[in-house]
């Protein structure tokens, strides 16, 4: 069986001849050399961190080896003096696993952070085609709708500008409207909606409905109204469902606007191969 972790050892560089000492075993003089064996914990044979040190003496004559506890007093004295003047230090690689693990952890955390930012930047893939249509339309809002480009938004803006006091910055309210068969979609984008208490935000919907009523001509259209705040949609109203708690409205309330009108069939999609390749080349 292969041991993937455990302890390893190495003899440290400095060795100390024990001058004037006699071997405890063969009693020869000046035959001993002392040194230090340092141990370390390894994982997959990479030293991770240092553990114990053992001081030993070896006799060159009888080959006997002695641990520090077996040293005679004179051996201890000679060893201690020499070690104090030329101390042995561990090689740095005894702890290199710590650095490797530390670098690994830093890299892992770094990758997590990078991954998190990347996933934030990447737009979520819309699951529903209608979600993509709505997102696209929500980007088309403008603070200056004109009679020529978007007359409905133009009426609503006039009405809102008259009725609103200073609770909202009128110039920062953006509008968009669109008709699909017998349905009309109206989107308002109000970044400073937070100035209005969430419980009172549904008034905005009432204002939009009142504007349409006052102007006239919208009676036969099903109304889909969404109010987009700084971060998310805060109000969403459709003929089938209203989400007006003023904090977080489901955008999906507006999705049915994009469904094909009644008595309408999708045009058959005709694909011509040569055109496709042409387009690809252009791109």
Structure tokens at 1: 């069986």
The neighbouring-strand residues paired with 128 are: none
Query: Which span (23-31, 113-121, 138-146, 181-189) binds Zn ion, by CB under 5 A?
Result: 23-31
Cα–Cα distance, 229 to 58 (Å, whole number): 82
Burial call 170-193: b when 16+ CB within 10 Å, e when fewer:
eeebbbbbbebeebbbbbbbbeeb
Nearer to Zn ion, 62 or 164 (CB): 62
Shortest separation between residue 85's beta carbon and Zn ion, angstroms: 25
Q: Is 23 in the site for Zn ion (CB under 5 A)?
A: yes
Residue 62 as a binder of Zn ion (CB under 5 A): the answer is: yes
Exactly one of 18, 21, 57, 59 binds Zn ion (CB under 5 A); that residue is 59
Task: Determine, following the binding rule CB under 5 A, whether residue 53 of this chain makes contact with Zn ion.
Answer: no
Residue of the chain from 10, 14, 22, 25 that contacts Zn ion (CB under 5 A):
25
Contacts to Zn ion from residues 190-249, by CB under 5 A: none
Which of the stretches 22-30, 100-108, 204-212, 264-272 binds Zn ion when contact is defined by CB under 5 A? 22-30
Contact 201, 243 (CB under 8 A): no
| 185 vs 191: CA distance, rounded Å | 19
Closest distance between Zn ion and the C-beta of residue 62, in Å?
A: 3
Q: Which is nearer to Zn ion, 26 or 113 (CB)?
A: 26
CA distance 103 to 168: 52
Of 39, 53, 61, 170, the residue at the interface with Zn ion (CB under 5 A) is 61
What is the torsional sign of CA 44, 45, 49, 52?
Answer: positive
Residues between 64 and 93 with contacts to Zn ion, criterion CB under 5 A: 64
CA distance 106 to 116: 15
Q: Which residues bind to Zn ion, rule: CB under 5 A?
A: 23, 25-26, 59, 61-62, 64
């Amino acid at each position: 069986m292969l041991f993937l972790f455990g302890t390893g050892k190495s003899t440290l560089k400095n060795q100390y001849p024990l001058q004037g000492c006699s071997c405890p075993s063969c009693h020869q003089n000046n035959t001993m050399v002392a040194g230090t064996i340092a141990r370390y914990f390894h994982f997959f044979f990479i030293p991770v961190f240092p553990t114990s040190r053992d001081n030993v003496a070896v006799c060159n004559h009888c080959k006997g080896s002695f641990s520090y506890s077996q040293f005679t007093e004179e051996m201890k004295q000679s060893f201690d003096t020499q070690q104090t003047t030329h101390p042995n230090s561990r090689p740095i690689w005894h702890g290199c696993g710590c650095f490797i693990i530390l670098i690994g952890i830093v890299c892992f955390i770094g990758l997590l952070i990078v991954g998190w930012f990347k996933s934030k930047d990447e737009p979520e893939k819309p699951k529903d085609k209608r979600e993509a249509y709505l997102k696209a339309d929500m980007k088309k809002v403008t603070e200056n709708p004109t009679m020529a480009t978007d007359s409905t938004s133009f009426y609503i803006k006039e009405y809102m500008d008259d009725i609103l006091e200073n609770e909202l910055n009128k110039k920062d309210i953006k509008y968009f409207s669109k008709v699909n068969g017998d349905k009309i979609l109206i989107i308002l984008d109000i970044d400073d909606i937070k100035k209005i208490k969430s419980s009172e935000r549904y008034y905005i919907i009432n204002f939009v409905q009142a504007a349409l009523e006052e102007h006239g001509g919208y009676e036969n259209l099903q109304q889909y109204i969404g109010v987009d705040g700084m971060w998310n949609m805060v109000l969403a109203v459709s003929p089938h469902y209203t989400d007006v708690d003023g904090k977080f409205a489901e955008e999906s309330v507006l999705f049915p606007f994009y469904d094909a009108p009644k008595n309408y069939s999708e045009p058959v999609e005709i694909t011509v191969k040569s055109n496709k390749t042409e387009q690809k080349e252009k791109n």
